[in-house]
Structure 1
Amino acid sequence: MGFLGILETKVTDVPGTVQLDEHCFSATGQHAAHPKHDTGKNSHIVLSPQPANDPNDPLNWHPLKKLSITMIVGLGSCIYAAAYGHLFDAGTVVLAETFDRPIPDIVKTSGYQLLAAGAIGPLVAACARKWGKRPVFIMSSLFGLVGSIVGSTTNSYSGLLAARLIQGLSMPAYESIVGSMVGDMYFVHQRGLFISVIGFVLAVVANLAPAVCGPITFNLGWKYLFYLCIPITAVQTILLVLFAPETQYRRVAPVPSVTSDADDSGSDSAEEKWARVRDVETSSDPQLMAPAKKSMWQEMAIFSGTYSEENFVQLLIAPFAVCMNLVVLWTVLLSGYLTATYVAQAYVLAQIFAAPPYLLNASGIGYLFFGPFIGGTLASILFALSMDPLIKFCSWRNRGVYEPEYRLIPLVGGLLVGAGLFGWGALVQDGASVYATAALHGLVMFGVVTANDSLYTYTLDAFRSVSSEIFVASAMVKNFIFFAFSYFVSSWTATAGPAHVFDVFGGAACGLVATGLAVFFCGKRYRAYWATNNLLEKLHIQGHGEW
């Protein structure tokens, strides 16, 4: 049994399990291997995945280059994946009055936007896998720009709906494949920080958008939201084209996985794999020598080649096929549901707080989103500061062996989603203080961010070979759930009352989070089982690992 009760397996090579801490090599019998390490205070950390002997390998890029790319793509996530979906959360009543439509019709414009995002997700994933992430990001940004231009010129409900649909086409790349981009550039022991940044962008900035958009809608009019989106999206697109090269890379040699049992056969296995790494990287064969560093113009090419030889249809079905893996399916459904409960609150916020006893205008409703913004920010900071040190500590206690299940420890914070929903529904039912409701709204977001960051990092490390497809499947499921909620949450809240509605949501959230115990303790055994019983291979869908 591993540290914290993770159940071991007799399989000696479990994908996702890696030797992370060299200080513990003597305890595990891994003396002979000579893998690459981090530098400075982390010089004892074994790099996983192992970088190639190639300056064009994104793992070898300068940290500032990696950071600049992350910031540019992160800005796109702020705009397209976070802000676009919440432009009208605070101004729902204003738009209903402007277009003489019931509130549910205005909510549906966001619902159809998310439906478009979910429907195009598999195509985005297939194109990114086939031709790289860079052309997909650029095309997505252009869709966002065009959608904003259409919205700024329309005066009808149908025109508004069309603008929202076009904007929806820009969303899936920036909420799904952005996660796998972190895996392209950063090592296992670095990913927690950057996944928390992505989580901050996707969840927390989404709450800042209504806080800003509400006053703009109230004081200037809803069209100014589109007016402001145009220059911001244009700048992001230009930065993307000029300074964000392709991060996808074809690796040559495999990354060794080990088990914490580490018997003699495991040691031989690891040494054999590291020997293959050294053979590749020290060979004098000209065909295996490191290529020259690409020029700036070569890096800025929109298309940089083909990254998969698979049939395009196989790539299209991959986001659906990965859900045959039960742990992946659990991750996708849990992440989607927890986020959907927060979106359900956003859908009904204007409906509740524009009515008695609150009688808030669009500005006041927008300011309510500062509660979840603060809650999500605190969760992101806590996760960023604690996650990577936590997995280093757990690996050290586990004789230097890292298990992806350690990433699931913060999932316990997901119980705060249920607690916050219980309290929020009861308070708004009784017309309690807006400050108290905003605080509980923040508690919900704290739990959502903590749980989702935990699930994202676990997925990235446990099933790296299909992480892109998993992120797309997760985004697709979330968007479909959001679309479904847009059809009934508003009317259900109006008839049953917020206390009943959010008691149901909260109870389901707590129950689903509790199932994480089974994955934590048995996850390694399931990874070992899946490695030898991979249903994707039966469909001839390849894994696209870190090598």
Structure 2
Amino acid sequence: MATTESVEVASDEKDSGVINNVASKLDLKTLDGGIILIPQPSSDPRDPLNWPFSKKVTIVSTLFLALFTGFSAPFCGQLNIQQQAALYGKTAVQITYFNSAASAGLATGGYVWWPLSKKFGRSSVIFWTLFGQLAAQIWAPLMTGHGQYAPYLVSRYFSAFFGVTVSILGPRYLVDMFFLHQRGRAFTVLHLALNFGASAGPTFAGFVAANAYWPVEYWWSVALTGFTIVIVFLFLEETTYDRKDGAINRTKPDSWVKDRWETFFPGTKVASPTPWAHVAQIAITPFKIAIAPVLLIIAGFDTISFGFYVALNALTPVWLQLPVKAGGIYGFTVTQSAAFTFVHWIGFVVGLLYGHFFSDRIPLWVVVRNKGVWKPEYRLHVLWPTNFILMPLGLGLVGIAMQYRLHWAVMAIAQLFVTIGSLVSIPVTVNYICECFRTHTVEATLVLNSMRLFLGLSINFYINPWIGAVGVGWVYGMMAFFSVFAFMFLIALMIWGHRIREMTPFRTSDSEEGQHVLAERQNHGF
């Protein structure tokens, strides 16, 4: 239950190193534990910050399902590559180009769906893009002709093009519904669906098609997408709310049917009337944000850390299934490859638990030692154990296992470490960027999403020349060193984050930097 108490807001810029225009005592709503609610909620029950926790959980669960569906569908055929290689007359590595086609769809779709969401509402865009993904999932298993390799790749592009929507628009729901001290856990839960979907899709498909012809592996995804459409229609709600004085916000109609109609069909009832000319201007905004140094630094880190995870997922089935007589190490069957992906599931559980217990607690622990004043960079300290230690160690172990032909258990442990690092890093960096660009959350997320996919998009095309130049062991060994180098970007932000954000073309005051997160004279045990 929230209480109201008077707190002193730090205004000494020299002491705190932050901007703070508040010089007097304010009455701010806090939790009983002394954590100040940021942003301050209004007294309106329509304000998403005031919604019951059960309602927030329902919306996050719906977004989780939609995001899981969106990222599992494009990668369904990741394991059954030998049958496809024989059908299309391609090599196993060439078949993995569909991962690059899917990554291209993930990197580009948001640039269409974000501006349209301003015209029709976020929920409506999520709902209708699921129909596009449904069509793409039906398209793929019908491409069984010898000359239909290219159309098959195109189907994977469009499956991802439509499936990326929630990863772009979803973070805004979280920022609308949750307070600053809750967002770490909320982002961890939602982005679990992203990594889990990309891994579980191949797992399910591998077991379904282990003893059958490959097209059958897509039909379970068709059913899941149809089910997700129904769930989104029943439970997803728009969270847009303007807290400025005098703002006019939508009142939900008493009729549930009318509310669903206004949310998903005309669309403009839940979004501010936006002329098409303004939609075009909105579409340009992400390209302006893309030149912000803080975003480029985070994107550089994500491009390396997440890109190597995508590359590892795409290429591991090739290494596992390559026959021993052809120079392979393990000679796994499709079923064995599908079982191997449960390593990623274990990594997701570990990463989820870590994020749940530490993604908010560590930043608050740092806040206590910095006079209770918030800086977005405190979020990044969560990544020290997972991305400075575990991820480089995991990539190095992959290289050692491949170079010295070690037991598959070594490869499994390595994949576990990389998975944990990837799962933890995405929600933390997305949350950080959202807090740096509070009034441009979706645009910043869109740019970050696109940039981090570039490496995963391209690596399949040059992995063989890279291996030929340095050997497979050193390919992954170099990845390990590159991931350590990428973490140096985060260290730079931890030290000079405020100055770097000052160089952005958008105002630093869009962030929540400088706000007092903790009431004074409280005993905080983080």
Quick check: TM above 0.5?
yes
1:60 to 50, 71, 75: 50
3-state DSSP of counterpart to 2:27: coil
1:414–1:513 Cα contact (<8 Å) kept: yes
- Aligned counterparts of 1:326 and 1:492: Cα–Cα separation in 2: 30
Distance 1:288 1:451 in 2: 37
Deviates more, 1:401-410 or 1:44-53: 44-53
1:216 paired with 2:208, answer yes
**Alignment-derived partner of residue 271 in structure 2:** 305
Aligned mates of 1:483, 1:494 — CA distance in 2: 20
Task: Provide closer, same or farther for how the CA distance between residues 182 and 11 of structure 1 changes in structure 2, counting only shifts above 3 A.
Answer: closer
User: Separation in 2 of the partners of 1:519 and 1:77?
Assistant: 29
CA contact (8 A) 2:183 2:360 kept: yes
Matched letter for residue 524 of structure 1: H
1:35 aligns to what SS in structure 2?
A: strand
Q: Which amino acid aligns with 2:141?
A: S
Q: Does 1:168 align with 2:160?
A: yes
Percent sequence identity over aligned pairs: 20
C-alpha distance in 1 between matches for 2:157 and 2:167: 16
After alignment, is 414-423 or 287-296 more displaced? Answer: 287-296
Partner of 1:535: 505
Answering whether residue 332 of structure 2 is matched by residue 360 of structure 1, we say yes
For 2:273 and 2:130, the matched residues in 1 are separated by 22
Give me the CA root mean square deviation.
Answer: 2.8
Q: What is the Cα deviation at residue 50 of structure 1?
A: 2.0
Q: Secondary structure at the match of 2:42?
A: coil
Q: Which residue of 1 aligns with 2:110?
A: 121
Counterpart contact for 2:123–2:236, Cα < 8 Å: yes
Contact 1:339–1:478 (8 Å) recurs in 2: yes
Q: What per-residue deviation string (whole Å, max 9, x for no partner) do you get for residues 395-445 of structure 1?
A: 333333222211110222212222211111111222211111111111111
Asked if the contact 1:419/1:506 (under 8 Å) is kept, the reply is yes
Q: Which moved more, 1:149-158 or 1:189-198?
A: 149-158
Corresponding residue for residue 418 of structure 2:
444
2:17 maps to amino acid? T
The match for 1:343 is: 310
1:298 Cα deviation after fit: 5.0
Offset at residue 457 of structure 1 (A):
2.2
Using the alignment, how far apart are the partners of 1:143 and 1:203 within structure 2?
21
Offset of residue 472 of structure 1: 0.8
SS at match of 1:101: coil
Q: CA deviation at 1:197?
A: 0.7
Q: Which residue of 2 aligns with 1:317?
A: 284
Which digits, 9 at most, give the CA deviation of each residue in 1:209-228, with x for residues without a partner? 32332222222332222211
What amino acid is the match of 1:397?
A: R
2:65 pairs with 1:75: yes
Range 151-160 or range 510-519, more displaced? 151-160
| Residues 99 and 314, structure 2, Cα contact 8 Å, conserved in 1 | no
Structural mapping, 1:253-268, within 5 Å = none
Q: Superposed, which structure 2 residues align to 1:250-289 within 5 Å?
A: 250-252=242-244, 280=245
**In structure 2, what is the equivalent of residue 243 of structure 1?**
235
Q: Write the letter of the residue equivalent to 1:53.
A: S
Q: Report the TM-score when normalising by structure 2.
A: 0.84
1:209 and 1:291 mapped to 2: Cα distance? 38
- How many residue pairs get aligned? The number is 482
Please name the residue that 2:5 is paired with: none
Mapped contact 1:53–1:290 kept (Cα < 8 A): no
Q: Are residues 495 and 523 of structure 1, via their aligned partners in 2, closer, same or farther at CA, if it must alter by over 3 Å?
A: closer
Is the contact between residue 180 and residue 471 of structure 1 (CA under 8 Å) also seen in structure 2? no
Answering whether residue 22 of structure 2 is matched by residue 50 of structure 1, we say no
Aligned match for 1:428, one of 387, 402, 406: 402
Q: Describe the shift of the 1:148–1:289 C-alpha distance in structure 2 as closer, same or farther (beyond 3 A).
A: closer
What displacement does 1:29 show? 7.5
Deviations 1:507-546 (A, max 9, x none): 111101022112012213334x24xxx5258xxxx9799x
Match in the other structure for 1:263? none
- 1:277 alignment partner in structure 2: none
Find the residue that maps to 1:311 and give its secondary structure.
helix
Aligned counterpart, 1:93: 82
1:372–1:439 Cα contact (<8 Å) kept: no
Work out whether residues 106 and 163 of structure 2, in 8 Å CA contact, stay in contact via their aligned partners in 1: yes
Does the 8 Å CA contact 2:205/2:217 hold for their aligned counterparts? yes
Partner residue, 2:101: 112
Amino acid at match of 1:337: I
Select the residue among 359, 365, 383 that pairs with 1:411: 383
Residue 7 of structure 1: how far off its partner (Å): 8.5
Please say if residues 172 and 472 of structure 1, whose CA atoms lie closer than 8 Å, have aligned partners that are also in contact.
Answer: no
Aligned to 2:445: 471
Structure 1 residues 319 and 515: CA distance shift in structure 2, 3 A: same
Alpha-carbon distance in structure 2 between the residues aligned to 1:7 and 1:136: 46
* 1:53 counterpart SS class: coil
Question: Counterpart in 1 of 2:518?
Answer: none
3-state SS in 2 of match to 1:360: coil
For the residues of structure 2 that align with 1:308 and 1:409, how far apart are their CA atoms? 40
Q: Measure, in 2, the Cα distance between the counterparts of 1:370 and 1:490.
A: 27
| Conservation of the 8 A alpha-carbon contact between 1:132 and 1:307 | no
- Any gaps of 5 or more consecutive residues in structure 1? 14-27, 253-279, 281-286
Among 175, 179, 202, the alignment partner of 1:187 is: 179
Pick one of 28, 32, 35 that aligns with 2:28.
35
Contact 2:87 2:144 in 1 (8 A): no
| Superposition TM-score, scaled by structure 1 size | 0.81
